[in-house]
Amino acid sequence: MEFDLTEEQKMIRDTARDFATREVEPKAALLDEKGIWPTEFVQKMGELGFMGVAIPDEWGGSGMDTVSYVLAMEEISRACASTGVIMSVNNSLFCDPVLKFGTEQQKREYLVPCASGAKLGSFALTEPMSGSDAQTMVTSVETQGDDLILNGSKNFITCGNHADFVIVFAVSGRDGKRLKHHALLFPTDLPGVTKSPPDEKLGIHAAHSCTLYFENVKLSKEHLLGPEHKGFKVAMTTLDGGRIGIAAQALGIARASLEKSIVYAKERKAFGGPIANLQAIQFMLADMATQLDAARLLTLRAAWLKDRGIRHSSESAMAKLLASEAATFITHKGIQIHGGYGYTREYGLERHYRDARITEIYEGTSEIQRLVIAAHELRD
């Protein structure tokens, strides 16, 4: 694995950093407080090429690589985790599987507009009674003549309220003991598709999620993404890449907390000098910096493997596991260093703390990541 970034990778990192610092960060707290969808930032990310970073030019993307995507994701998420996860969903959970599994027609119809930022995609796997155990989903698709009829619901769908297109996973009976899973790709404005109001959540308030309802939605076999009955493979393959995006989001949240804590420790006076002189504070900062750096290295390794077409299920799980738990630890310690001020909105630590918590849950809980890693280690 090479540790030196290419000039192109440095360029996209620096572009993302400049955009995030100048435009996103000054408005992030207000967006969070009011729960405002960041329309302006989503549009600008499309213009900058951040909505399809690793998608080839011919399909509307930037033609970069996954390492570049990670670098940009960290910068955007450092400023606003809500804006970061919108970028992550469109890149990792929508564009990537359409590129891998889509037909030429699907790529023209769905990938090009989403990778260019003209449209927005979403990914609908979770159900009210089917989260970590995705194989038990009950959303169904039935064949009626030449039509496929979709019924059911999906919840906690990030970007669902605003998405133009969605990938939905559904079942259609059994193949022996196993359910037949299908991946379906279609516009969200079809008859029979309805969206709930945005969920009320602990964090990432500006990145709206909702429940999607499907009542006798009429589709065709042209809406199948990937081979028939292979929807579960599409979902799991997609999540391998998606976990890299969430790891990068967690890095950004953690880094924001560490940077603010360093500045505060140097400025805050107590016991005759800056609290940065106190060993108790130094130990916390050292632990925070070490966990952040370790998580970043694991995330970049997973991205590097993905770029080379090497299987990375375990490595992606490791990256998400460590990065998400590091983000929770670092934001917790950041509040501790700030004391009472950390508990208020003044310094933004409480926002980072709330935003970090979801990274241990979505796209596979920490417990699921441990199962993935253990299965890899125990294989014959």
Measure the CA angle with vertex 159, ends 188 and 198; round to 5°. Answer: 95
Instruction: Look at the block and give the residue holding tokens 């990670």.
Output: 70
- Phi, psi at residue 179, to the nearest 5°? -70, 145
Instruction: Look at the block and give the residue holding tokens 């409480």.
Output: 350
Tokens of 142: 């039935």
Residues forming a β-bridge with 212: 154, 195
Look at residue 186 and give its three-state secondary structure. Answer: strand
Tell me, what amino acid is at 207?
A: A
Measure the CA angle with vertex 291, ends 209 and 331; round to 5°. Answer: 50
Helix, strand, coil distribution of the chain in percent, nearest 5: 55, 15, 25
CA distances in angstroms from 4 to 51, 58, 315, 319, 322, listed in the order given: 24, 28, 20, 19, 22
- Phi, psi at residue 170, to the nearest 5°? -145, 165
The reply to whether 363 belongs to the active site is yes
The DSSP letter of residue 230 is B
Helix H or strand E segment including 158 = strand 147-158
Look at residue 191 and give its three-state secondary structure. Answer: coil
The number of angstroms, rounded, from the C-alpha of 181 to the middle of its chain's C-alpha atoms is 23
- Report how far residue 58's alpha carbon sits from residue 31's, in angstroms, rounded to the nearest whole number: 34
In the set 74, 315, 325, 363, the catalytic residue is 363
Q: Please list the active-site residues.
A: 363
